[in-house]
Amino acid sequence: MQNSKNIVVLIVEDDPIDQKSIERAFSNQEMIDRVSVVSSAEEALGYLNRSKEQDGDSPRPNLILLDLALPGMQGKEFLKCIKEDEQLCSIPVVVLTASDNDADIEQSYKLYAAGYAQKPLNAAELDNIVKKLVKYWFTTSSLL
Amino acid sequence: MFRDVVILLVEDDLGDQKLIEKSLNNERILNELITVNDAENALQYLQRCQDGEKESPRPDLILLDLNMPGMGGKEFLSRIKNNPELNDIPVVVLTTSDSEQDVLESYKLQASGYIKKPVTLQGFQEVMKDLEEYWFVVCKNFPQRQLS
C-alpha cells in the first residue's frame, strides 16, 4: 500500500553526531524517500507549519522521530503541541532518546507517543532498531 | 520481577481470534493473550484492571478490530485515549478495512499503528512478528520490564 507513496521522515535531534547517524540509518532504508533533519522543536514547528501550506521544500512527514532533551522547547512540550493540532495530530511521533527513566516513558505515552525507543550505543544496533521501526510503520502498518 | 507481556485482543470474529492466537508465537517473547469479543467486554476488563484485580493484568498493548457489534472500535479507541488512567496503553488497529477514512480517523484518535488483516496464516505470522519486534524489542513500555 505504501509503495506508491513518497515516504518522508522528520528527525528532531539537536546532537550533530546523533543527527548524522540517525539520518544515515534511515537513508539506508530503501523505502524512505526523504529524511529531513531539524535541530530543535521550534525548527520542527516551523517545518510543519510550512508543510501545512503545501510548501514543496517541506513535505508533510509520515512519521516524526523525536529526541526529548532539546535546547529551548523540550520534546514533550513539542509532542503536546503536535497532538493538540487538528492538522498534525494524525502524524505518529516516535520518541528516540537517551533517557530510559520511567517518568519519561510514561509521560511520553500519555502524550500519545507512538513508541519510545532508547538510543542504542552503537551504529549496528541503531541500524537494527531503525530497520524494525521502518518495517513496522511502512510495511506492516498503513499510513496516510 | 519480570513478567510476560500482556496483549488484549478485541475481536468479534472467532476465525480471526484463532489466527491471531496462533500467530503470536515469537519465541523471543512470552506473551499472555487475553481475548474479548467486543468493546463493551474490553471496557469491563480494563475496569477490572483499574480495580487491581489480579486475574485481570493490565495490558501492555491492545489489538483492536474496528467493525464489531455494539460499540464500534473507533468509539472504544476514543474512550481509552480520553481516559487519563488508560491513555498510555498503545492501541493498534487490526481490521479488514483499508479505507483512507478509517486510517485517518484511527490515527486522529491516536491509534499507534493501523494494520490491515492479512488473508493467510503466514501473512498473520509475519504481521505479528513485526508487531512484537517493534513494541517489545525496539520500544520500551511502561511499566518497564526487561525481555531476555
Cβ of A135 within 8 Å of Cβ of B130? The answer is yes
Residue A67 covered by a domain? yes
- The domain containing residue A106 runs over which residues? 8-140
Which band of pLDDT confidence, cut at 50, 70 and 90, is reported for residue B31?
Answer: confident
Domains and CATH numbers, chain B: 5-134 (3.40.50.2300)
**Cβ A136–B134 below 8 Å, yes or no?**
yes
Specify the residue for cell string 499472555: B32
> How far apart (Å, rounded) are the C-alpha atoms in residues A82 and A97?
18
The CATH number of residue A89's host domain is: 3.40.50.2300
Distance CA A85, CA A69 (A): 22
A-B contacts (CB, under 8 Å): 95
Read off the amino acid at residue B2. Answer: F
In this prediction, residue A4 has a pLDDT band, given cuts at 50, 70 and 90, of low
> How many domains in chain A?
1
A89 touches chain B (CB under 8 A): yes
Contact A117 B133 (CB under 8 A): no
Determine the distance in angstroms separating the CA of A117 from the nearest CA of chain B, rounded to an integer.
Answer: 5
Q: Per-residue confidence at B70, pLDDT binned at 50, 70, 90? A: very high
A77 in contact with B, Cβ within 8 Å: no
Return the pLDDT at B27: 60
Judged against a pLDDT cut of 80, whether residue B78 lies above it is answered with yes
- pLDDT tens-digit profile of A72-124? 999 999 999 999 999 999 999 999 999 999 999 999 999 999 999 999 989 99
Instruction: Tell me what ipTM this predicted complex has.
Output: 0.93
Q: Is the Cβ–Cβ distance between B135 and B29 less than 8 Å? A: no
Determine the pLDDT at residue A13: 98
Q: Do B113 and A117 touch (CB under 8 A)?
A: no
Alpha-carbon torsion, ordered A125, A108, A90, A137, to 10 deg: 20
